[in-house]
Amino acid sequence: MYFIKNVRLYTGRGEYENGAVITDGGKILYAGDAAGAPECAGAEIIDGRGGICMPGLCDAHCHAPMVLLRGEGADLPLFDWLACVQKMEENFTPETIYTGTMLAIAELLRGGVTSFADMYFECADMIRAVIDSGIRANITRGSTSVEGVYSHIGLHREFDGAEGRVRVFVGLHGEYTSDEKVARAAAETAGKLGVGVHVHMSESRGEVAGCIERHGVTPPAYFERIGLFDVPVIAAHCVHDR
Ligand SMILES: [Zn+2]
């Protein structure tokens, strides 16, 4: 049992200048004003003076192992950067991916992030790091083909719910790296599995212009047309409307 005292506390419902939190194993027994905290003899005291206690942050879009490539091609436009990093990713082994994910998780936890949504390729190696570290994660593969989309069925069967901390959605890399058949398969597969889709959307002006050229509409309108929003969607970026 832990008793965190002398801490500035934000619970999501209230803010307390002099807050207190009492935990027992995985449960929070009390979170509120220190004056109202019950007695808890034997609890280990953590002095939170000078700190802030708050719910963990959630990072909604990561490619965790790519932390190893930090800075590579950082000044390049999106498509040139992709070509640059893909060349290096060809040398990644399962252990590279596990280690890269572990490093990313260490940085996330240090920054107060206790949950992240990710899209990468070798998901099993990432999930190993999630399980070993104690963080929560929603893991997907950045699919560009129907086979890639269907690979989530086995991944979901094997890992969804693992340790009560792992979720498996369906990953669709993006409009510009897939076709309508792949995108429809992602929506249908997510629907069948009862999960959502994680997708890049309107990340660059070039992507939006290309989508209008290919489909006559912007990426969100295209995805709406094919029924992607019939399931929950984590849409990453969404920074350009034309
Ligand atoms: Zn991304």
Over the stretch 75-126, which tens digit does the pLDDT of each residue have? 998 889 989 999 999 999 999 999 999 999 999 999 999 999 999 998 999 9
User: How many angstroms is it from 63 CA to the middle of ligand 1?
Assistant: 6
171 in a domain, yes or no?
yes
Which tokens is 188 given? Answer: 């249908």
User: How many angstroms is it from 149 CA to the middle of ligand 1?
Assistant: 17
The CATH number assigned to the domain holding 28 equals 2.30.40.10
High-pLDDT (> 90) share of the chain, %: 93
User: How many angstroms is it from 189 CA to the middle of ligand 1?
Assistant: 21
User: Are 115 and 185 in the same domain?
Assistant: yes
The CATH number assigned to the domain holding 198 equals 3.20.20.140
User: Are 113 and 188 in the same domain?
Assistant: yes
User: Are 167 and 213 in the same domain?
Assistant: yes
User: Are 47 and 163 in the same domain?
Assistant: no
**Domain total in the chain:** 2
- CA separation for the pair 229, 191 (Å, rounded): 10
User: How many angstroms is it from 200 CA to the middle of ligand 1?
Assistant: 6
User: How many angstroms is it from 157 CA to the middle of ligand 1?
Assistant: 24
Residue 87 sits in which domain range? 57-237
101: Cβ–Cβ under 8 A, 6 or more apart, which residues? 64, 65, 125, 126, 129, 130
85: Cβ–Cβ under 8 A, 6 or more apart, which residues? 66, 69, 72, 73
User: Are 48 and 62 in the same domain?
Assistant: no
User: Are 47 and 64 in the same domain?
Assistant: no
User: Are 15 and 116 in the same domain?
Assistant: no
User: Are 157 and 89 in the same domain?
Assistant: yes
The per-residue pLDDT for range 121-177, each reduced to its tens digit, is 989 999 999 999 999 999 999 999 999 999 999 999 999 999 999 999 999 999 999
User: How many angstroms is it from 194 CA to the middle of ligand 1?
Assistant: 23
- CA separation for the pair 32, 37 (Å, rounded): 7
User: Are 6 and 68 in the same domain?
Assistant: no
pTM, two decimals, is 0.90
User: Are 177 and 139 in the same domain?
Assistant: yes
User: How many angstroms is it from 191 CA to the middle of ligand 1?
Assistant: 22
User: Are 65 and 42 in the same domain?
Assistant: no
242 in a domain, yes or no?
no
User: Are 203 and 177 in the same domain?
Assistant: yes
User: How many angstroms is it from 40 CA to the middle of ligand 1?
Assistant: 46
